[in-house]
Chains A and B, each alone.
Chain A
Amino acid sequence: MRVLLVEDEPDLRRGIAQFLRESGYAVDEASDGHDGLEKSLSWDYDAIVLDWMLPRLSGIDLLQKLRFKKTTPVLFLTARDGVVDRVTGLDTGADDYLVKPFQLAELGARLRALVRRASGIAVAKISVLDLVVDTASRTVTRQDQPVVLTGREFSLLELLVFNRGKLVTRTMIYDHLFEEDHDSLSNLVDVYISRLRSKLGSEFLTTRRGEGYIVDV
């Protein structure tokens, strides 16, 4: 999953970004409203974490402009806990909010819920054949036996099961798994796919040659 973090406080941005990366997200960062809007329009992020008070373009203006074109889930961060601020935020098109200071665990849970809902999935545990993917604890079991996956492997699996029944192209995998400044080799996707297959068995994932991958047709 790839998220955009728009936050102007350098220390806070650094902390949240580190947390998100450690949670298995690919994170793009923006330090002001203009930068954030540009990035949010040019990529299909799985979610955007948006601070409310931003230089150059405020969070609410960014959201308004974004909503003309995209429905990307947006979680806004605000240091104001007034009802008016929250209502304005939600009415403008934000999907959820957090009031600063917040616990990172809550940020993580809300973000997962947002991404899940955007894929039309209501619960944190998803079953595919003999696999159970727990997006909250980021663990997988195969026939009730835990399987150890690296962060990126899990993110790939998550992307595939969230798009269950839909074709996931190689470009999508690149866009959602790697950050903007990631300079990767083109066969990296193949490497991760084959690792997933060796750990979880190959029956849950079908390869459409030249197009991409699909889970559980």
Chain B
Amino acid sequence: MSSFSSRFKSLAFRIQVYYGLLLATVIITFATVLYFQQSRLRMHAIDDELVASHQLLTSKMETNPSVDDWKVPLSFNVPPPRQPRDVPYSSVWHKDGTTIYRSSLYAPSSADDSTSQRKTEQSPGPTLHRRGITVRNRGSFREVIGAGPRESTVLVGRNIERDYRDIRSLLLVLIGTGLSVFTVGLFGGWILARQAIEPINKITQAATEISGNNLSRRIDLKETESELGRLAQTLNGTFDRIAIAFKQQAEFTADASHELRTPLSIIQTHQELALSKLRTADEYRETIETCSRATERIATLINKLLSLARLDADSSSPLRISTDISGLVVKCRGLSEPMANAKRLSIVSELREAWAMVDPSQIEQVITNLLSNAIHYTEPGGSITLAVESISHGIQLSISDSGVGISESDLPRIFDRFYRVDHARSRDSGGSGLGLAISRSIVEAHGGKIEVESTLGRGSRFTVTLPLAEKRVTEVPGYT
């Protein structure tokens, strides 16, 4: 039932109905106009012929009073008569009602003549008056009546049954042709509508088949130039992007679950071990220590995932405070000093006051992250350089180290989520593989960019460019 009603609501059906109505209107209008025009022309032709015959007869009567010569010539008949009854007849009678002449070819009963004249006047019908001549229909006869010479009345008439038949057959032909043209038109329209709708159905079907599990399906349309072809291409492009997004999301989820499962298995393993039999106090302590390390790892990871999710959800953090970036660097340097001192690293600062509209806590996170990476990947005794300067279109912050560097194959991927150059190394420091991804998200949310150049064995240099603040608005205590 629903498919039935939906069928009536379908675009193809509606196009078909409108098209059918339009077609019918055109055909009916055309046929009607043609029919009436044709019948009018035919009647005119007959009338012209009869009037001409009347004039001819009248002039003959004037010049030639002999009744024997009052005959309408056959050549006036258009079309030429096929049967004797199609030949015009004529009748002349005097004012007093006496018949002077009646043609031999065909004559309707004379009694009708005068009475029917009155009858026609009573019912006007298709009676025409022109040039003192009355034209009338009498049954299937068309007659022209006019004054003749010597106070006579001249009637010329003709059987027009054949003309009526012709016009009726024209009507039948028009109806027949109209119906067949309508049918062919409807059928053609149906095929055209289907052809036009077919790609839409294809698109619908393909779009239906595309799901989270099956993103490989694409719309297969041959016609690439048509509007629908372009729509299909556009949709395919969208599907491609969705598929990529889905894949990235799946990879991210897999990576995130991997990162969560590892500390979880540590906790589970050690708990099971501790519970499997009675242990010493030291063993219990060790188990708890191990578990709390793993718990901390999970907490850190979840925090990072949350901040990434927040950055993803709201790419433009609403908080923008005019901040001196070099001030933030000084603060971060202070916090990292103990770590650097432990590795005997020298930190060199080349700082100039540089103001930018930023969320200070987020930028601080970026600096802390880059700085701790630099400390972590630099061998003891190495050096780290922090530089902040104003450039033409913004401010530039760079953190260079003399550390292990990043190989060319790793370089393009280090900002990817969960990408780790060396698993073992980063794990020691509790690295999650998210730090640089978060840093990039933050910098990009600020309309800036983060870049890296590195030589393996020589060191790396991370450069953060931030757009310049228009003017100093406020100085936030604690951040400057």
Q: Whose C-beta in chain B lies nearest to the C-beta of A31?
A: B424
Cα(A79)–Cα(B261), bound, Å: 6
Cα(A89)–Cα(B457), bound, Å: 35
Asked if B265 and A102 sit within 8 Å, CB to CB, the answer is: yes
Residue of A56, A82, A100 near B261 (CB, 8 A) is: A100
CB of B276 within 8 Å of the partner chain: yes
Query: With a CB–CB cut-off of 8 A, which chain A residues contact B423?
Result: 8, 53-55
Cβ < 8 Å to A, chain B residues 272-303: 272-273, 276-277, 290, 293-294
CB of B427 within 8 Å of the partner chain: yes
The contact string, 1 if C-beta is below 8 Å from chain A, for chain B 245-273, is: 00000000010011101101111111011
Residue of B254, B277, B424 near A55 (CB, 8 A) is: B424
Q: How far is the CB of A15 from chain B (nearest CB, A)?
A: 4
Residue of B265, B272, B276, B425 near A100 (CB, 8 A) is: B265
Query: With a CB–CB cut-off of 8 A, which chain A residues contact B273?
Result: 15, 18-19, 22, 104
Residue of B258, B267, B268, B427 near A79 (CB, 8 A) is: B258
CB of B422 within 8 Å of the partner chain: yes
Asked if A80 and B258 sit within 8 Å, CB to CB, the answer is: yes
Secondary structure at chain A's binding surface: helix, strand, loop or mixed?
Answer: loop
Secondary structure at chain B's binding surface: helix, strand, loop or mixed?
Answer: helix
CB of A9 within 8 Å of the partner chain: yes
CB of A46 within 8 Å of the partner chain: no
The contact string, 1 if C-beta is below 8 Å from chain B, for chain A 1-45, is: 000000011011011101100100000000110000000000000
Q: Whose C-beta in chain B lies nearest to the C-beta of A14?
A: B290
Cα(A15)–Cα(B271), bound, Å: 9
Cα(A53)–Cα(B254), bound, Å: 13
**Size of B's binding interface in residues, CB under 8 A:** 25
Asked if A12 and B254 sit within 8 Å, CB to CB, the answer is: no
The contact string, 1 if C-beta is below 8 Å from chain B, for chain A 44-70, is: 000000000111100000000000000
Cα(A101)–Cα(B260), bound, Å: 9
Q: Whose C-beta in chain A lies nearest to the C-beta of B267?
A: A101
Cβ < 8 Å to A, chain B residues 227-254: 254
The contact string, 1 if C-beta is below 8 Å from chain B, for chain A 91-122, is: 00000000111111100000000000000000
Asked if B270 and A11 sit within 8 Å, CB to CB, the answer is: yes
Residue of A19, A55, A105 near B422 (CB, 8 A) is: A55
Cα(A103)–Cα(B264), bound, Å: 11
Query: With a CB–CB cut-off of 8 A, which chain B residues contact A102?
Result: 265, 268
Cα(A53)–Cα(B257), bound, Å: 14
Q: Whose C-beta in chain A lies nearest to the C-beta of B255?
A: A80
Q: How far is the CB of B118 from chain A (nearest CB, A)?
A: 105
Cα(A164)–Cα(B398), bound, Å: 69
Asked if A12 and B424 sit within 8 Å, CB to CB, the answer is: no
Asked if B258 and A53 sit within 8 Å, CB to CB, the answer is: yes
Query: With a CB–CB cut-off of 8 A, which chain A residues contact B269?
Result: 12, 15-16, 19, 101, 104
Query: With a CB–CB cut-off of 8 A, which chain B residues contact A100?
Result: 261-262, 264-265
Query: With a CB–CB cut-off of 8 A, which chain B residues contact A9?
Result: 262, 266, 427
Asked if B268 and A103 sit within 8 Å, CB to CB, the answer is: yes
Asked if A80 and B422 sit within 8 Å, CB to CB, the answer is: no
Central interface residue in A11, A12, A55, A56, by most chain B CB within 10 Å: A11
Cα(A166)–Cα(B261), bound, Å: 43
Cα(A54)–Cα(B427), bound, Å: 12
Q: How far is the CB of A16 from chain B (nearest CB, A)?
A: 6
Asked if B265 and A79 sit within 8 Å, CB to CB, the answer is: yes
Asked if A11 and B272 sit within 8 Å, CB to CB, the answer is: no
Residue of B261, B424, B427 near A101 (CB, 8 A) is: B261
Query: With a CB–CB cut-off of 8 A, which chain B residues contact A54?
Result: 423
Contacts A79-B261, A103-B272; A11 near B290 (Cβ below 8 A): yes
A selection of 5 A-B contacts at a CB cut-off of 8 Å is: A12-B265, A19-B269, A19-B272, A53-B423, A79-B261
For the complex of A and B, 10 pairs with smallest distance between CB atoms:
A15-B269, A101-B265, A79-B261, A55-B424, A100-B265, A79-B258, A101-B264, A100-B261, A101-B268, A55-B423
Which residues of chain B have a CB within 8 Å of any CB of chain A? 254, 257-259, 261-262, 264-270, 272-273, 276-277, 290, 293-294, 422-425, 427
Which residues of chain A have a CB within 8 Å of any CB of chain B? 8-9, 11-12, 14-16, 18-19, 22, 31-32, 53-56, 79-82, 99-105
Apart from A11-B293, A104-B272, 7 more pairs, CB < 8 Å: A15-B270, A15-B273, A16-B269, A19-B272, A22-B276, A80-B257, A101-B268
